[in-house]
A and B are shown apart, each in its own frame.
Chain A
Amino acid sequence: MHEMSLCESMLRIIEDEAKRQEFSKVRIVHLEVGALGHVEPEAIRFCFKAVTHGTIAEDAELEILCPPGQAWCMTCSTTVEVSARYDPCPRCGGHQLQVTGGNELRIKDLEVD
Chain B
Amino acid sequence: MCTVCGCGQAAIEKDAQGRHHHGHNHDHHHDYGGGIGGVHVPGMDEARIVEVERNILSENDRLAAVNRAYLAERKAFALNLVSSPGAGKTTLLTRTITDTKDRWPIAVIEGDQQTSFDAERIRETGVPAVQVNTGKGCHLDAHMVGHALETLAPAEGGLVFIENVGNLVCPAAFDLGEAHKVVVLSVTEGADKPLKYPDMFHAADLMVLNKIDLLPHVGFDVELCIEFARRIHPDLEVLPLSATSGEGLAAWYDWISAGARPA
B218 interface hit (Cβ, 8 Å): no
B173 touches A2 (CB 8 A): yes
Give the total of B residues in contact with A, Cβ under 8 Å: 42
B34 interface hit (Cβ, 8 Å): no
A5 touches B141 (CB 8 A): yes
A113 touches B11 (CB 8 A): no
A109 touches B56 (CB 8 A): no
B49 interface hit (Cβ, 8 Å): yes
B234 touches A97 (CB 8 A): yes
A16 touches B231 (CB 8 A): no
Q: With a CB–CB cut-off of 8 A, which chain A residues contact B23?
A: 22
Closest to B192 in A: A86
A6 touches B56 (CB 8 A): yes
Q: With a CB–CB cut-off of 8 A, which chain B residues contact A106?
A: 53-56
B170 touches A2 (CB 8 A): yes
B258 interface hit (Cβ, 8 Å): no
The A interface is mostly helix, strand or loop, or mixed, namely mixed
The B interface is mostly helix, strand or loop, or mixed, namely mixed
B interface footprint on A1-26 (CB within 8 Å = 1, 0 otherwise): 11001100110111111011111000
- B50's partner among A5, A21, A95, A98 (CB-CB below 8 A) is A21
- A13's partner among B36, B52, B170, B172 (CB-CB below 8 A) is B52
Q: With a CB–CB cut-off of 8 A, which chain B residues contact A76?
A: none
- B53's partner among A1, A95, A107, A111 (CB-CB below 8 A) is A107
A85 touches B232 (CB 8 A): yes
A16 touches B12 (CB 8 A): yes
Q: Kindly state the separation between the CA atoms of A15 and B54 in the bound complex, as whole angstroms.
A: 13
Q: With a CB–CB cut-off of 8 A, which chain B residues contact A53?
A: none
Q: Kindly state the separation between the CA atoms of A99 and B228 in the bound complex, as whole angstroms.
A: 16
Q: Specify which of A5, A6, A111, A112 lies most central, judged by the most chain B CB atoms within 10 Å of its CB.
A: A5
Q: With a CB–CB cut-off of 8 A, which chain B residues contact A19?
A: 11
Which of B121-129, B194-202, B209-217 contacts its partner? Answer: B194-202
Given contacts A17-B54, A112-B47, 16 further A-B contacts (CB under 8 A): A1-B138, A1-B170, A5-B141, A6-B57, A16-B12, A21-B21, A21-B50, A38-B199, A74-B234, A86-B194, A95-B230, A98-B234, A99-B202, A107-B53, A110-B50, A111-B49
Per CB-CB distance, the 5 closest pairs between chain A and chain B, nearest first, are A2-B170, A85-B198, A38-B173, A95-B231, A107-B52
